[in-house]
Chains A and B, each alone.
Chain A
Amino acid sequence: MGLLNSVGNYFRESQVWGSIFRHGVPRDRRTRAMAILSNVFLHLHPVAVRKSGIRLSFTWCMGGLTFFLFLAETITGVLLMFYYRPVVEYAYADIVGLRAHVTLGLLREIHRWGAHAMVIAIWLHMLRVFLTGSYKPPREFNWGVGVVLLTLTLLLSFTGYLLPWDQLAIWAITVGSNMARATPFAGHEGPGAALLQIGGVPLIHGGSDARFLLLGGTVVGPGALLRFYVLHCVFIPVVVSVLIAVHFWRVRKDGGISGPL
């Protein structure tokens, strides 16, 4: 132990260490506060929190786990993007290849299970926030941001569902996206769509309605695969990242973890 300590001290007293962590070892109140304040990642936290607020049985850690899972999904997802091609001819073979002969192809299983876990975790986070009445003033707005994040999480999972291009994928997406056909006014089988016509020519038909916009075609085909890929890998994650930032920021601004007033 003596040797270990002196090696540790050697590094902690070096110029390199001191340039990265501009405070001493977090052993007293001041340096522990500095450890949070001077770190760009940790400074999402306040310096001190209410002890009963961070009790595991109070928070269930579900919000944190949702965020961890989002990070895990991002990391595994980026790595999967090196290998996977969103083209009908290759997509399924690439997924099979990940399982069969790609080093660390296990990432795909992690990514898939993690997505399911994230959906459950975010529901339970909502349940916790609801049961503790934490959506009440002053946190109304942040609850709304959370609801949007919940919706986006489901959409992330839904768009990712198509990418393996197996039977499960195309038919689940077919069932799901058929709903868009019935969007009032915007889907060609939705109420009101028949009213939108010029000189007897309907504006909304199978090739121009909400479902067509979503799928890039009238069936779940190559266009849908590419659209879902872009939505899944770029568009929704970017929006989610921005909203997560807002969500965390507002947790701080609205008074931190909730507790009795």
Chain B
Amino acid sequence: MMTTFAHILASVDPAQQGSAIDRIKSFVDALCAPYYFVPLTTLLLVIALVSYKQWTRPKAALLVFVAFTVFYGASMLDEDFFKIIKKPDNVPITMMIYFTGFCTWLGFRQAAVNDDRMKRGEPLIESGADDKVLVWPDLVYTELIALVLCTAFLVVWAILLKAPLEPPANPTNIPNPSKAPWYFLGLQELLVYFDPWIAGVLLPGLIIVGLIALPYIDKNPRGNGYYTLKERPLVISVFMFGFVIMWCVLIVLGTFLRGPNWNLFGPYETWDPHRPAALLNINVSDVFWVVLPEKLNVAWWKPGLPSEASFGIPAFLVREAPGIVLLGGYFFALPVFLAKTVFRKIYTQIGLIRYAVFWLLLSWMFIVPIKMVLRWLFNMKYFVAITEWFLNV
């Protein structure tokens, strides 16, 4: 972490590098390391949520759009970035970035207008009790136009850009990196931090279950059928964090920044397959049984992983006890504490069962960024590593 920070400072040192463009490029490359990229985009999201009344004003939003497009367009002049961008299977990512950005603006713009109107006691954009119109022609024609435009868009797109098609399948020639379809790259990115049973099975399952459970947990009756942020700030913030950061940003990361051996490459860096692989990661058990005792150097706490059963508890459970206590605290004690403090209002509103489900989903969602941060700061690998059972968290 510190070395990388030094690397950034070094990269902006004019004596060390060539032109100004190169320095900007290496600065951006350095910022795109996940430990900057994910927190920075999260910070941007927080700023966007807090200042939604300011940046959604058409002029401000247009400025953001133009600035981003200039940046994105100028980046394409870079050979390495353009190579990634123009790869047919990555074309939808550019679409995703722009469409998601535009739609987020559209939604939050209307939320800002509505929230202002509510404050002044004026009717919502969506209000209007007796404004019924006939479906023929008002809706049917809109649909027809949408259908025609959508078809035209697809046909033109198909003519201009060839769909992805690579050389024929060859089971003996494994591409490096091997990537999942682009919409699953966020999940593949999680494999850096979690074992496949969590990243590939449990978390996707929880996303589906969590989305289905959402209307039964969110008992806030306000904000039903109109854009608003003021009336449901918590739910919208959590959802946007999940959708924008944990899904879209990780897809962008997985597409643009992950190269051979799943190593990290800045957007303007050449994918070098011979770059040395990442560092050694350690488990919570190593920290507790080896690192800490070595540092403290006290008589009763000898360094060394427990290898024998004690009090009838198998050795691996003793070994993993610190991690189990940590995770147990996070999954079972923390919610009790929160229910009595920060979430007191929510707890009384939704009751025990809903709160339990709410915490199950929320805790698994936030264990992702928690583990990311622990990895970046301490190279932490697993809280609990019972490799005997393939059970690593």
Query: Which residues of A pack against B, CB within 8 Å?
Result: 26, 29, 32-33, 35-36, 42, 45-54, 56-58, 60-62, 64-65, 68-69, 72, 88, 92, 95-96, 99, 106, 108-114, 116-117, 119-120, 123-124, 126-128, 130-137, 139-140, 143-144, 147-148, 150-151, 154, 157-158, 161, 164-172, 174-176, 178-184, 187, 189-195, 219-221, 258-261
| A147 (CB) vs chain B CBs: closest residue | B211
Q: Does B21 contact A (CB under 8 A)?
A: no
Q: Which residue, B139, B166, B171, has most C-beta atoms of chain A within 10 A?
A: B139
Lowest 4 A-B CB distances belong to which pairs?
A179-B200, A182-B196, A112-B163, A140-B215
Q: Does B158 contact A (CB under 8 A)?
A: yes
CB distance B168 to A124 under 8 Å?
A: no
Q: Does B71 contact A (CB under 8 A)?
A: no
For A64, the chain B residues whose CB sits under 8 A away are 143, 146
CB distance A182 to B195 under 8 Å?
A: yes
Interface residues of chain B: helix, strand, loop or mixed (majority): helix
CB distance B215 to A191 under 8 Å?
A: no
| B389 (CB) vs chain A CBs: closest residue | A191
CB distance B150 to A113 under 8 Å?
A: no
- Distance in angstroms between the alpha carbons of A143 and B214 in the assembled complex: 9
| B169 (CB) vs chain A CBs: closest residue | A170
| B388 (CB) vs chain A CBs: closest residue | A194
Known: A136-B218, A154-B183, A189-B196. A92 touches B175 (CB 8 A): no
Q: Which residue, B124, B187, B390, has most C-beta atoms of chain A within 10 A?
A: B390
CB distance B96 to A120 under 8 Å?
A: yes
Q: Does B301 contact A (CB under 8 A)?
A: no
| 20 residue pairs A–B, Cβ–Cβ below 8 Å | A26-B136, A68-B146, A110-B157, A120-B99, A124-B100, A127-B100, A128-B103, A132-B227, A133-B226, A154-B183, A157-B181, A166-B169, A167-B166, A168-B165, A169-B169, A171-B178, A172-B178, A179-B187, A182-B196, A258-B224
How many A-B residue pairs have C-beta atoms within 8 angstroms? Tell me.
Answer: 283
Interface residues of chain A: helix, strand, loop or mixed (majority): helix
| A62 (CB) vs chain B CBs: closest residue | B103
Known: A36-B135, A48-B133, A49-B133. A69 touches B150 (CB 8 A): yes
Q: Does B174 contact A (CB under 8 A)?
A: yes
Known: A51-B131, A161-B181. A60 touches B163 (CB 8 A): no
Q: Which single member of A128, A151, A195 contacts B107 (CB below 8 Å)?
A: A128
**Distance to closest chain A CB from B393 (angstroms):** 10
| A142 (CB) vs chain B CBs: closest residue | B215
Q: Does B41 contact A (CB under 8 A)?
A: no
CB distance A135 to B214 under 8 Å?
A: yes
| B89 (CB) vs chain A CBs: closest residue | A168
